[in-house]
Chain A
Amino acid sequence: MDDAQTDHLKAYGLTYRAIQAGLKAEWLLNYRGGSFLIPDLDALRRDAALNGIRTEPVDSAMTAVRGEIEASNMDAVPLEKASKVAVYAPPNAAPWDDAVTMALQYAGISFTKIWDSEVMNGSLKDFDWLHLHHEDFTGQYSKFFLIYSGMSWLAEMVQRNTDMARRLGFGTVPDLKKAVARGIRAYVENGGFLFAMCTATETIDLALAAEKVDIAATFADGTPIDPDADAKLDWSKSFAFTGAHIEPNPLIASFSDIDGHQVNGGARRQPLGAFTLFNFSAKIDPVPTMLVQNHRQVIPDFYGLTTSFTRNRLKPGVTILAEEEAAPWVKYVHGDLGKGTWTFFGGHDPEDAQHQIGDPPTDLSLHPHSPGYRLILNNVLFPAAKKRELKT
């Protein structure tokens, strides 16, 4: 899908629906920006026409296409099973609160919303793919508690989380969120695919590393942060990060020095640049190759409560999928854990670089070629790849 494609994002939905219907599809990695090969059926042609997706018949040319793929840094990966998608979000969250649900909604990929009770009662096993967006797994309400004190949305968030903690038998919200984080980790270890963005990336690792340490400010659990928290964190339990320093100030909406940009860190805040996608070997590393399929190699950066990941806080063995060249941070990382995989993508909304609370939602019909959103949808589709092809 190069610049000739009229709606890159909806093309993912078309492919997803094709494999969901039991049809065979192939992902032609690196071929014209990463293309999909689907059967030429009336129903699919109709779907493409309705959604404004450009398709090209390749019957006679397919031999030449396969020859080109064979001779270049390209590969054809069969897609055979549409993953069952779950999104971790509070029950009343609108789809427009989250870049991934917006992308799924726009592309026409169905998903189920789950929250703490579903994670705790083991329902995650019913899903192949789980997305986390801007949840604060340290249980500190994104540290907005003092900054946005008195706002009705915050009061509602606090009430909802407190009620859930009580219902599930936890003394505090931070305790509940730590347990949820452990549930999600177990899900990945058992073969689940996890895709997290924004705050969820950083805070799930902090919550896992802080299983036995108090890293929540007094307002969240009634007790101050353990003064030796940094030293007591157990990073063997986290997905991606290690050795981070906790931000102890309850008035700064930042969690640690994992985030390179520190959007709410005052003088520590860094300006936005652009990030570059890595070029992997399609035949040797199909998974990272799938995750970076795009018609653009360099993509403008965008803020989130966690925007990027400081290089020296990454665990050895983490695969960097995108980075800002010469900057001390990276944007997009991936790794394996047990039988599953996880992918972390910094930032909140690829098409709203300076997103603020209360901003209107992004209308993706105005950004059908968004390269940032394509990265999100790569993650939705890659679990559909035939298992034997997953070499990393």
Chain B
Amino acid sequence: MRRNTSWAAAVAALVLLGLADPGRAARGQALGPGFELERAGRYADAASVYFTTVRSDPTNIPALLGLERALFILNRMPELLPLVQNARGRLPDSPALRSLELRVYAALNQLDSLETIARRWAASAPESEAPYREWGQALADRRQWDEARRAFLIGRRTLGGDGTLALELAQLEQRAGNWEAAAAEWGRAVTRSPDVGPNAASQLADAPVALHDRVARVLTLPAPATSARARRLGAEVLLTWGQPAAAWVAMESTLGARGGDSEAPDALRRFADLANVLTTPEGHRVRGLALTRWAELEGVPWQEASRARAEAVRELLDGGDKAGARRVLEGLTTDSAAPAEAHAVAEAALLQVLIADGQLDVAAERLSAGRTTLTADDRAALRLALSKALVARGELDRAEAALGSDSSVTDVAQRGWISLYRGNLKAAMEGFRLAGPYATDRAAATERTAMMAMLQRIQRESSPELGAALLTLARGDSVVAIAALRRAATRLPEQGGQVEVLLLAGQVAAQKGGEQEPTATALFDEIVRAGGEGAAPAAAELEWARLLVRRGENAAAIPHLEHLILTYPNSAFVPEARRVLERAKGAIPKS
């Protein structure tokens, strides 16, 4: 890595110098064939070109660097030493030649000479880190970790300062696999210079999972053991590892009661941006907390603060922190300085919170109020959410009323569900048909289509028992719903919807898992035994097999899948059954 960088720098130097000095340009051109030969893998020929250049121009650094590359591969490094010593004698102040000399000694494994030369260079530049850096680096390039560490630490001791050569030590420890030591050095490096932060975080992100806790502990020790910058680095690394809660603890510890130092706004904003890639509820919550704290900091423009608060509310809601969201909203809706768009977002979010909190009366009142900042789309979405929440309480009349006089496809679909729960199968079918396959999201459309498929098999216009069972299911009481669905099924003819309703009961039981699994198995068994027309027997057998695979009983699942494929070769479930079968047999990887 280091050698490549040097080469790039050498080429760049050639070009730049060429612009200012035609003589140099000619010499650069003379080196061109050498580069080409190197690229073609003809290192001996390339070395000859570089030797020729150095003979006429002993201090030609690009040629000497070319020799360093080619002779290293050819195992002829001893030939380079006299040339470099000669060049350094002519240009004693050239850091490039000093570095090269150190690398040559390292390549020749003459470690005593290497140290002598490095110390001599350090004596001539007593305040410079370069001699120690190049000394250690030359050893690190040869994977002599202990010697390299010693060189860097001599530099730190001589020059003073906890962060001196910390960057080099961090990289060294990381290459040597000492991740905790690397973290400590990155912490020192970032304390010394905040610009190192992003690189440090990206390097530490690669730490092995087994060492995450230990690395994090090094960076997040309470002050004064670690600096605020080191703890912020720790917070960032924890975020990258997908540990948002621990990351927030580390970040919050750097803020203090009054918001922290002058770097706090940037650090918090960066933290919130990084948290944006996390899709877990905890990730959303932590991002919401970070945005909230950022919006409270002094010096953040009020427009941006208001927007951040609105965004924070959404994140806190997505993270399940309704109380936190509500606290932010209360501040925002009463903030007369906030722009209208922020008010609208806050109002919509507040209503969402109220509905989610079960404060349906308050939500209904606010929704029906004439004076509101809500957009039409938000209002429609909130009416639907309210209607669904009322369904979940079993208040079907109020649920229908909540939809108002709107006749959008989503409302038509919702009315279809309300009809279904009342047992009016005909009206439900009509509502679902009118809504079509595109209303609301894909999952809701699929759910409606599945319900229509079931209703189609039932040759009745109404079934209060089935409606009540489905309402129970919609209200989240799946155990009672399973029993109710089984009872409703007994009132239907076997080939007139009975097996389809039983299949739904079985699917609910399988999804519920635990104690309901025997019920699911019994229901699937009953449906498979009944056989007959329709998709239910194949679907039941596939569900049964999936249940067994989930329990790790692949051997028991395989006969069911084989039975399904052989008995219903034209079923739409066969391709999926084959995939489950292949996975159960270990013929394809788990995806």
Contact = CB atoms under 8 A, between A and B. Distances in A.
A152 B208 contact: yes
A363 B588 contact: yes
Contacts of A227: 74-75
A50 B581 contact: yes
Interface in A240-288: 245, 247-249, 251, 257, 266-268
Given A227-B75, A266-B39, 7 more contacts: A50-B566, A50-B578, A108-B585, A225-B75, A247-B41, A248-B41, A363-B588
B591 A248 contact: no
B161 interface: no
Given A46-B566, A248-B73, A365-B578, A106 B588 contact: yes
Contacts, number: 59
Contacts of A247: 41
B566 A49 contact: yes
Given A106-B587, A248-B73, A365 B579 contact: yes
A149 B175 contact: yes
A183 interface: no
Nearest to A96: B589
Contact of A50 (B562, B586, B589): B562
Given A50-B565, A50-B566, A248-B73, A108 B174 contact: no
A149 B140 CA distance: 12
B589 A361 contact: yes
A364 B175 CA distance: 38
B318 interface: no
B39 A267 contact: yes
Nearest to B581: A50
A98 B59 CA distance: 52
A230 to B, nearest CB: 11
Given A245-B41, A365-B582, A150 B75 contact: no
A149 B39 CA distance: 24
Interface in A349-378: 360-361, 363-365
B464 interface: no
A249 B73 contact: yes
Contacts of B3: 251
Contact of A365 (B74, B574, B588): B588
A52 interface: yes
12 contacts: A49-B569, A50-B562, A52-B575, A52-B578, A95-B586, A106-B587, A108-B585, A149-B175, A150-B174, A224-B75, A227-B74, A365-B579
Nearest to A265: B41
Contacts of B294: none
A105 interface: yes
Contacts of A251: 3
Contact of B175 (A52, A150, A152, A257): A150
B43 interface: yes
Nearest to A267: B39
Contacts of B569: 49
Contacts of A257: 41
Contacts of B581: 50
A379 B544 CA distance: 39
A49 B586 CA distance: 19
Interface in B1-29: 3
Contacts of A249: 41, 73
Interface string B151-180: 000000000000000000000001101000
Per CB-CB distance, the 3 closest pairs between chain A and chain B, nearest first, are A361-B589, A224-B75, A96-B589
A315 to B, nearest CB: 22
B181 to A, nearest CB: 13
Nearest to B582: A365
A227 B177 CA distance: 32
Which of B74, B75, B206, B566 has the most chain A CB within a 10 Å cutoff?
B75
Contacts of A267: 39
Nearest to B4: A251
Nearest to A7: B578
Contacts of B73: 248-249
Contact of B587 (A108, A224, A360): A108
B582 A106 contact: yes
B444 to A, nearest CB: 28
B461 to A, nearest CB: 41
A52 B74 CA distance: 58
A257 B41 CA distance: 10
Given A248-B73, A365-B588, A49 B177 contact: no
Contacts of A150: 174-175, 177, 206
Given A49-B569, A50-B565, A363 B41 contact: no
The CB with the most chain A CB atoms within 10 A, among B3, B73, B208, B589, is that of B589
A182 to B, nearest CB: 27
Contacts of B574: 52
A49 B587 contact: no
Most chain A beta carbons < 10 A, residue from B174, B177, B569: B177
Contacts of B208: 152
Interface in A39-61: 46, 49-52
A56 to B, nearest CB: 15
Contacts of B582: 106, 365
B174 A49 contact: no
Given A49-B565, A365-B582, A248 B588 contact: no
B174 A363 contact: no
A268 B40 CA distance: 8
Nearest to A152: B208
Contacts of A266: 39
Interface string B504-543: 0000000000000000000000000000000000000000
B581 to A, nearest CB: 7
A212 B170 CA distance: 42
A149 B569 CA distance: 53
B260 to A, nearest CB: 34
Contacts of B579: 365
Nearest to A362: B589
Interface string B164-200: 0000000000110100000000000000000000000
B577 to A, nearest CB: 10
Nearest to B40: A268
A314 to B, nearest CB: 20
A60 B175 CA distance: 71
B261 to A, nearest CB: 34
A266 B574 CA distance: 47
A248 B460 CA distance: 81
Contacts of A46: 566
A105 B587 contact: yes
B337 to A, nearest CB: 50
Interface in A94-123: 95-96, 105-106, 108
Interface in A322-366: 360-361, 363-365
A51 B569 CA distance: 11
Contacts of A51: 578
Interface string B214-246: 000000000000000000000000000000000
B73 to A, nearest CB: 5
B587 to A, nearest CB: 5
A224 B108 CA distance: 13
A187 B565 CA distance: 43
Nearest to A217: B73
A71 B169 CA distance: 76
Nearest to B3: A251
B578 A363 contact: no
A98 B246 CA distance: 39
A346 B265 CA distance: 54
A248 to B, nearest CB: 5
Interface in A140-177: 149-150, 152, 155
A266 B74 CA distance: 20
Nearest to B177: A150
Contacts of A96: 589
Contacts of A108: 585, 587
Nearest to A363: B588
A256 to B, nearest CB: 10
Contacts of B587: 105-106, 108, 365
Interface string A199-232: 0000000000000000000000000110100000
